[in-house]
């Protein structure tokens, strides 16, 4: 279970999903190696052993970068399992590269434009803790390794 954030690029900056026209096509982010390099500048020591799925681990938690299989990257997904300290790094990543970040479970606005971008991660963490607590209280439930 993770807090998921989509990274995309448009020809202009949008402030909400509702602003994006139906026929709007995202721009490419770049070639895989170029995008991986940009990620690694902000998240050093990201493990790219699997070029389609980078993993960054730290004391703050982890982020998996799901790049897909295409050589030309049109978007990628972050699977975040970390504390709030990673939010400023995610915001730096998108701002430095002219990208935008959206968490589909949030309110439809872009992460880098929020006054309190960490709130989405906090809401997800509260939901996760509630689900896990409910499962742990169930007499027939076996805890998976990630709990």
The structural domains of the chain, with segments of one domain joined by +, span: 3-137
Say whether pLDDT at 142 is over 80.
Answer: no
Is 96 in contact with 42 (CB distance < 8 Å)? Answer: yes
Say whether pLDDT at 147 is over 50.
Answer: no
Is 101 in contact with 110 (CB distance < 8 Å)? Answer: yes
DSSP summary character for residue 11: S
Rounded CA gap, 83 and 28, in Å?
A: 29
First CA to last CA distance, the chain:
9
* The listed CATH number (3.30.2010, 3.30.379, 3.30.310, 2.60.40) that belongs to domain 3-137: 3.30.310
**Best CA proximity match to 97, nearest among 42, 17, 15, 144:** 42
- Give the pair of three-digit tokens for residue 58: 């730290």
* Residue 123's pLDDT band (cuts 50, 70, 90): confident
């Amino acid at each position: 279970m993770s807090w998921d954030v989509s990274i995309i690029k448009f020809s202009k900056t949008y402030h909400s999903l509702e602003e994006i026209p139906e026929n709007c096509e995202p721009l490419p982010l770049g070639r895989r190696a170029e995008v991986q390099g940009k990620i690694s500048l902000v998240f050093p020591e990201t493990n790219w052993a699997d070029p389609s799925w980078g993993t960054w681990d730290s004391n703050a938690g982890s982020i998996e970068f799901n790049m897909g299989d295409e050589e030309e990257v049109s978007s990628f997904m972050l699977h975040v399992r970390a504390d709030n300290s990673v939010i400023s790094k995610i915001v730096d990543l998108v701002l430095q590269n002219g990208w935008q970040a959206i968490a589909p479970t949030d309110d439809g606005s872009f992460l880098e434009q929020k006054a309190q971008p960490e709130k989405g991660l906090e809401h997800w963490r509260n939901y996760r803790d509630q689900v896990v607590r409910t499962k742990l209280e169930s007499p027939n439930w076996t805890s998976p390794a990630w709990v």
